[in-house]
Amino acid sequence: MKLKTAIRSVLSHPLTRRLDLDSPETTSLRFQLINEKSFLRQFYRDCYRLMANSLAAGIDGPILELGAGGGFIKEHVRDCITSEIQLVSGVDIILDGQQLPFGDFTLAGIAMLDVFHHVPRSTWLLKEAARCIKPGGGMVMFEPWNTRWSRFVYRHLHHEPFDPDCPKWELERGGPMSMANSALPWIVFERDRRQFETLFPAWRIEKIQLQAPFRYLASGGVAYRSFMPGALYRVFTKCEEILQPWLQHWAMFALVVLKKKMP
């Protein structure tokens, strides 16, 4: 904890240093930071491309993005409804993913970038998504993952809790951003996969693709200063491609794709 505090005090971005994580102002400021930091924006652009390419093709209906406040998914997914859990400018609708205001079988899919690990009751979200998404549609998420490397990074360098040994899927305390367990996606879709498949027979895990050992860290993320100029982004991308055979040890994130089964 002392190491994490010392690192944050030295390296944190001056614009976010004193902001409350749960303030809508912080979410809006993250959009500004992503656009100002070239390396980070390129990383997010690649994340959205991966998610857009993984959404089910040929399914009519809109895509819903949860937690869209700091992003720009509409550059990659045209028929998209952007949403946030609190009042943030620039999104289409304010909603809670645990109680979706959509009719049965009305959505083609749901996309999330760094959102699932903040959901207090992930089972509610998975049930609501299964209700609203049409057969053949899907959920696509880009989330933190549990590996040897990521355990060190998330425990010592990141501001969010990371507990891969947590016995529960629920989050107990905190606001919409401070309440988190960065290991939750790995817990639900990897460690407890059999339980997930039993509880949610409507869903099939189509893909878990490990991603990004170093790019996000090198960007400084949305909390730290930029560590690398944008011109070096493709160099890091090429290095990560070389590490593909060893990503089970080095990845920090995973692209998770769920498919809604046909009746």
| Residue range 64-96, pLDDT digits in tens | 999 998 778 999 998 899 999 988 888 999 999
Percent of the chain beyond pLDDT 70? 92
Sign of the alpha-carbon dihedral angle for 31, 214, 144, 58: positive
Q: Which residue has the higher pLDDT, 35 or 66?
A: 66
Q: What's the rounded Cα separation, in Å, for the pair 108 and 112?
A: 14
Q: b or e along 175-187 (b: 16 or more beta carbons within 10 Å of the residue's beta carbon)?
A: ebbebbbbbbbbb
Q: 134 by DSSP, 3-state: which?
A: strand
Domains of the chain, first to last = 2-260 (3.40.50.150)
Residue 149: exposure state from Cβ atoms within 10 A (0-12, 13-18, ≥19): middle
Q: What share of the chain is helix, strand, coil (3-state, %, to 5)?
A: 40, 20, 40
| Residue 46: C-alpha distances to residues 12, 133, 145, 212 (Å) | 24, 25, 17, 10
The SS3 of residue 4 is helix
Asked if residues 213 and 253 have their Cβ atoms less than 8 Å apart, the reply is no
The CA distance from 124 to 136, in Å, is 20
The whole-angstrom separation of Cα 183 and Cα 171 is 11
pLDDT value for 88: 85
How high is the pLDDT of residue 59? 93
Q: What is the pTM of this model?
A: 0.92
